[in-house]
Chain A
Amino acid sequence: MNIVVCIKQVPDTTEIKLNPETGTMIREGVPSIMNPDDKGGLEMALELKDQYGAHITVITMGPAQADQILREAFAMGVDRAILLTDRKFAGADTLATSNALAGALKILDYDLIITGRQAIDGDTAQVGPQVAEHLDLPQVTYVENLQFKAPKTFTIKKATEEGYQTVEVDAPCVVTVLASANHPRYMSVSGIVTAYQREVEIWGFDNIKVDENKLGLKGSPTRVAKSFTKGGKMAGQLYEVDAKEAVGIIVNKLKDKFIV
Chain B
Amino acid sequence: MDFTLTKEQTLFLQMIREFAEKEVKPLAAEVDEDERFPEETVRKMAKLGIMGIPFPTKYGGAGGDNILYSMAVEELSRMCGTTGVVVSAHTSLCVAPIYEHGTEDQKQKYLPKLCSGKWLGAFGLTEPNAGTDASAQQTTATLDGDEYVINGSKIFITNAFYADVYVVMAMTDKSLGTRGISAFIVEKGTPGFSFGKKEKKLGIRGSATCELIFENCRIPKENLLGKIGGGFGVAMKTLDGGRIGIAAQALGIAQGAMDETVKYVKERKQFGKPIGQFQNTQFQLADLSTKIEAARWLVRVAAFKKDRGIPYSVDAARAKLFASETSMEVTVKAVQFHGGYGYTREYPVERMMRDAKITEIYEGTSEVQRMVIGATLLK
Contacts and interface: CB of A to CB of B under 8 A. Distances in A.
Q: Is any CB of A less than 8 Å from a CB of B in the complex?
A: yes
Interface of A: 71-72, 75, 186-190, 192-196, 240, 242
A188 B57 CA distance: 13
A258 B18 CA distance: 45
Contacts of A187: 11, 14-15, 48
29 contacts: A75-B11, A186-B15, A186-B19, A186-B48, A187-B14, A187-B15, A188-B47, A188-B48, A188-B49, A188-B62, A189-B12, A189-B15, A189-B49, A189-B50, A189-B52, A189-B62, A190-B57, A190-B61, A190-B62, A190-B64, A192-B8, A192-B11, A192-B12, A192-B64, A193-B8, A193-B63, A195-B7, A195-B8, A195-B11
A193 B64 contact: yes
Interface in B14-63: 14-15, 18-19, 47-50, 52-53, 57, 61-63
A132 B61 CA distance: 42
Helix, strand, loop or mixed for chain B's interface? helix
B11 A71 contact: yes
Helix, strand, loop or mixed for chain A's interface? helix
When A and B form their complex, which 7 residue pairs have the shortest distance between CB atoms, in order from nearest? A189-B49, A189-B62, A190-B62, A187-B15, A193-B63, A192-B12, A192-B11
A209 B21 CA distance: 45
A152 B109 CA distance: 42
Contacts of A194: 63
B50 A71 contact: no
Contact of A190 (B14, B18, B63, B72): B63
B272 to A, nearest CB: 10
- Greatest chain A CB density within 10 A among B8, B63, B68, B72 is at B8
A51 B63 CA distance: 26
B217 to A, nearest CB: 34
A60 B234 CA distance: 50
Contacts of A75: 11, 15
A199 to B, nearest CB: 15
Contacts of A189: 12, 15, 48-50, 52-53, 62, 64, 68, 72
Contacts of B118: none
B269 interface: yes
Nearest to A191: B49
Given A187-B15, A189-B15, A189-B68, 13 more contacts: A75-B15, A187-B14, A187-B48, A188-B49, A188-B62, A189-B12, A189-B52, A190-B63, A192-B12, A193-B68, A195-B8, A195-B11, A242-B269
B8 A196 contact: yes
Contact of B18 (A186, A192, A195): A186
A195 B62 CA distance: 12
Interface string B299-333: 00000000000000000000000000000000000
Nearest to B7: A196
